Amino acid sequence: MRIGFIGLGIMGSRMAKNLIKAGYPLNVYNRTKLKAEKLEGAHLHIMESPAQVAAESDVIITMLSTPEVVQEVALGEDGLVNGMSKGKVWIDCSTVNPSFSVQMAELAEQLGFNFLDAPVAGSLAPAENRELVFLVGGKKTIVKYVMPLFKIMGKKTIHVGDAGQGSALKLVNNLVMGLSFYAFTEGLVLGESLGIDKNQIFDLMEGSPVAAQMIMLKKNKLLNGEFSPEFPLQWLQKDLHLAAQTAYEQGATLPGTNNVKEIFALAKQAGLAEKDFSAIYQFLSKKA
């Protein structure tokens, strides 16, 4: 099985490395070629376009930032669909809105290839340590066919349902993560304003039923004021926006999500876009 990988950012580069370590021939493409050149492997081939990746691969994995970028990589000049043919599989691991994934699945069916939406739960460290959770939408037979790849890059695969359902569950996951972490950050800011040491707040939260695991995973960043990106703030804001957009499409109501996504947007405008999303603490505590 020849694997193509497009998108070598924080997540994609680590996922690709694990496929290389497992011995798979890998055809890669990244808009910034330098990122591709940083990868090493005996059977690594750097391609000049997404179309070339698709033409010379059996399974193509994309891990990109936004639906707009995915669309450009797939449908633009020298886009990957130009290299697709019957029997090939496109796995989109990008976090996008479900309606977009459904559109891509319909396009794939029209053109005769296979499509899975397979966004992941997990950030930098899980990607590096093969601990990602794949949330997959698409045909069960295709999921089974590519399962060995999911097992190399992650610890668990959840086949959610038809095309778009993987993307749907990912937005639910990131909505809950973003809002719960934001709520804790407001509590942290209030506690500090009242003279409570941050360590005491973490001691209270550790193991508490009111606290999410994410809070403890970000403990050191918040205590040390060090916000190197594991999951950049701008992408969490994007995911909250996609959740709000999807709610509009479905006739659902998400007032809290809409408020919090705009606060993250303000933090992005304040220069925190490329920092870890836990830097929302910097913004709220006026330390940005």
Q: What residues act catalytically?
A: 170
> To 5 degrees, how large is the angle CA 21–CA 159–CA 68?
75
**φ, ψ of residue 148 in degrees (nearest 5):** -55, -35
DSSP annotation of 269: I
Q: Which of 123, 64, 53 is nearest to 88 (CA)?
A: 53
CB pairs under 8 A, 24+ apart, for 40-48?
Answer: 44/20, 47/4
Q: Which of 54, 44, 37 is nearest to 18 (CA)?
A: 44
Q: How far is CA 77 from CA 11, 55, 118, 247, in A?
A: 25, 14, 24, 32
